[in-house]
């Protein structure tokens, strides 16, 4: 009887294994058929093209992808082991992907970011939909008007801090990190962390270390294995910095809870009605207090996601704009004249900031050249393109770098021309994607645009920017959340008067 049971179990197990292998073969055949529609480098059994990236840094990885793209007109493919990545460079195909419900999910490589901050940037399914709805209202026009006082305060502090570095050549990112994180935390989260006074330097450093290791995991296939990664020295460094980020953020939340409790007790004593939430933190805590579906885990990870995705991209963008203004003095002077004409004193309104049209064009043109290199989506069902159909199981990569420099959609794409964004319409609405698009676009893009413009305009009113770089094409880029110069953002800042 026992022998018969063992035989039945063995047969059932064998059938399951055979079934799995058949399913895998069918899935693989569909992916291979899809891959035939796209050019790409020669593959090796099991490894695909993954060995091309082995041992490369982020600059080397980016160079490989760009080399493959040069041999393609409208897309290409790269196999990372058994995973097929289809790179799209045609805005029509990109629109089909970005607007298709079968392409909403982020690829599994974003799980490496989730280990740092498991918020709306990388989360999936119902949890993403629920929390995204909570985030959207915080970046509307009414909220921006409420935030402007904070923008003014910290842009003025930044302008004063810059004075201490006049005459030096510095990597301006190290300086601007602090103002962007102070602006974000005080306005959107309602908390002061004092980054410009040096109180959050380790926090900022830990974010940078974690993001560097996340990108290293993405482009090194051996690090896709959790076991291999855990045995690496990078794993220990990563875990230490993640632990610190979570601890620091937990302290921020605990402080906010304590201050909120004091305020509620004061209002109760004075007989005042409970005021509606004015920032993210208050909103999150209110929902939790009223029995909503927000756990301490949710709050910690959404707060940390807002900080990382908001400040890091804003700081890199502002640094890149400053570098481009330094490379092109005539454009800098034009932006300065606009700032001096519109802004006066130490306080600007939202209307004033919106009138900085030329500076906004400079920022948009900078994002065309320095914006996100790519976006990844996991395909969960058929997604029709112009000449084929993406199938479930593949990863689609929107190769923004190539789209932003395609002469079909941009006149003189290799030239820095802010005027292209003044009074001209795009040749295709998906040929410019600095903040992604569709349901998973960046909810804080207006916030970033307004806060950055004021910081930059205030800087131009008081200082002249210069650099040893004479043309933007001399800058070597590497992969990051945005394209990032390998040698940083070298600037020399001098007072105008």
pLDDT in tens, 174-232: 899 999 999 988 988 888 888 898 888 899 899 989 989 998 888 887 888 899 999 99
pLDDT category at 90 given cuts 50, 70, 90 is very high
- pLDDT top residue among 14 and 271: 271
pLDDT category at 20 given cuts 50, 70, 90 is very low
79-93, 410-424, 432-446, 457-471: which has the minimum mean pLDDT? 432-446
Taking domain 28-108+122-189+305-495, whether its CATH number is 1.10.630.10 is answered by yes
130-144, 245-259, 442-456: which has the minimum mean pLDDT? 130-144
pLDDT at position 22 is 55
CA distances from 167 to 163, 330, 416, 460 (A): 9, 21, 26, 16
Longest dimension (CA), the chain: 97
Report pLDDT digits (tens) over 392-407.
Answer: 999 999 999 999 999 9
Residue ranges of the binding site? 442
Residue ranges of the binding site for heme? 442
Other beta carbons within 10 angstroms of residue 143's beta carbon come to 17
Distance CA 199, CA 201 (A): 6
Distance CA 402, CA 383 (A): 21
Cβ within 8 Å of residue 350, ≥6 positions away: 141, 144, 145, 148, 450
pTM of the model as a whole: 0.89
pLDDT category at 257 given cuts 50, 70, 90 is confident
CA nearest neighbour of 178 among 150, 207, 158, 148: 158
C-alpha angle 312-313-318 in degrees, rounded to nearest 5: 100
Distance CA 105, CA 483 (A): 23
Distance CA 111, CA 256 (A): 28
Chain-wide mean pLDDT for the chain? 87
DSSP 151: H
Per-residue pLDDT, averaged over 26-32, amounts to 82
Distance CA 456, CA 461 (A): 9
- pLDDT top residue among 22 and 334: 334
Distance CA 274, CA 99 (A): 40
Chain centroid to CA 85: 20
Per-residue pLDDT, averaged over 82-104, amounts to 93
* Cβ proximity of 458 and 159 under 8 Å: yes
What is the DSSP annotation of 280-330? HHHHHHHHHHTT-S--HHHHHHHHHHHHHHHHHHHHHHHHHHHHHHHH-HH
* Cβ proximity of 466 and 170 under 8 Å: no
CA nearest neighbour of 323 among 496, 214, 170: 170
Distance CA 300, CA 117 (A): 8
- pLDDT top residue among 70 and 491: 491
Strand partners, 434: 436
R_g (Cα) of the chain, nearest Å: 25
Helix (H) or strand (E) holding 32: helix 2-35
pLDDT at position 218 is 84
Per-residue pLDDT, averaged over 116-132, amounts to 73
- pLDDT top residue among 221 and 35: 35
pLDDT at position 341 is 95
pLDDT at position 121 is 72
pLDDT at position 66 is 93
Helices (H), 189-295: 201-218, 226-230, 233-270, 280-289
pLDDT at position 281 is 83
pLDDT at position 17 over 60: no
Distance CA 38, CA 391 (A): 14
* Cβ proximity of 279 and 190 under 8 Å: yes
Q: Helix (H, G, I), strand (E, B), or coil: what is residue 405?
A: coil
- pLDDT top residue among 9 and 333: 333
pLDDT at position 6 over 60: no
Maximum average pLDDT range among 113-127, 139-153, 245-259: 245-259
* Cβ proximity of 152 and 348 under 8 Å: yes
* Cβ proximity of 43 and 54 under 8 Å: no
Report pLDDT digits (tens) over 112-123.
Answer: 888 998 877 766
Domain ranges of the chain: 28-108+122-189+305-495
* Cβ proximity of 179 and 200 under 8 Å: no
């Amino acid at each position: 009887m026992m022998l018969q049971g063992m035989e039945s179990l063995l047969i059932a197990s064998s059938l399951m294994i055979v079934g799995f292998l058949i399913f895998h073969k069918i899935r693989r055949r569909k992916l291979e058929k899809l891959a035939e529609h796209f050019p790409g480098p020669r593959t090796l059994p099991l490894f695909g093209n993954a060995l091309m990236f082995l041992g490369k840094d982020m600059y080397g990885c980016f160079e490989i992808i760009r080399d493959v793209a040069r041999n393609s007109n409208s897309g290409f493919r790269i196999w990372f082991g058994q995973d097929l990545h289809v790179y799209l460079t045609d805005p029509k195909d990109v629109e089909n992907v970005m607007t298709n419900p079968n392409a909403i999910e982020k690829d599994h490589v974003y799980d490496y970011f989730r280990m740092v901050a498991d918020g709306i940037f990388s989360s999936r399914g119902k949890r993403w939909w629920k929390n995204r709805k909570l985030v959207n209202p915080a970046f509307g026009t009414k909220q921006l008007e409420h935030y402007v006082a904070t923008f003014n305060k910290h842009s003025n502090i930044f302008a004063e801090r810059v004075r201490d570095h006049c005459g030096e050549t510095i990597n301006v990112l190290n300086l601007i990190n602090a103002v962007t994180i102070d602006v974000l935390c005080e306005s959107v989260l309602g908390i002061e962390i004092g980054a410009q006074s040096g109180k959050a330097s380790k926090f900022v450093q830990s974010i940078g270390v974690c993001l560097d290791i996340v990108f290293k995991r993405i482009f090194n296939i051996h690090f896709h294995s959790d076991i291999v990664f855990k045995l690496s020295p990078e794993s220990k460094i990563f875990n230490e910095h993640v632990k610190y980020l979570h601890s620091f953020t937990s302290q921020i939340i605990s402080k906010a809870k304590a201050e909120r409790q004091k305020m509620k007790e004061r209002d109760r004593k004075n007989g005042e009605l409970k005021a509606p939430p004015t920032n993210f933190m208050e909103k999150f805590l209110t929902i939790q207090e009223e029995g909503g579906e927000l756990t301490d885990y949710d709050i910690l990870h959404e707060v940390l996601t807002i900080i990382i995705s908001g400040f890091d991209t804003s700081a890199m963008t502002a640094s890149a704009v400053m570098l481009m203004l330094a490379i092109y003095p005539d454009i800098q002077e034009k932006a300065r004249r606009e700032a001096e004409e519109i802004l006066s004193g130490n306080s600007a309104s939202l209307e004033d900031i919106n009138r900085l049209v030329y500076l906004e064009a400079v920022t948009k043109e900078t994002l065309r050249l320095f914006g996100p290199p790519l976006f990844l989506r996991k395909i969960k069902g058929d997604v029709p393109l112009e000449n084929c159909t993406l199938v479930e199981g593949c990863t689609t990569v929107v190769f923004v770098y190539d789209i932003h420099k395609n002469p079909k959609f941009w006149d003189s794409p290799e030239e820095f021309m802010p005027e292209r964004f003044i009074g001209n319409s795009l040749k295709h609405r998906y040929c410019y994607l600095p903040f992604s698009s569709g349901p998973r676009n960046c909810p804080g893009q207006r916030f970033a645009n307004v806060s950055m413009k004021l910081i930059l305009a205030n800087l131009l009113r008081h200082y002249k920017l210069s650099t040893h770089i004479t043309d933007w094409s001399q800058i070597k880029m590497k992969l990051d959340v945005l394209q990032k110069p390998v040698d940083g953002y070298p600037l020399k800042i001098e007072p105008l008067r």
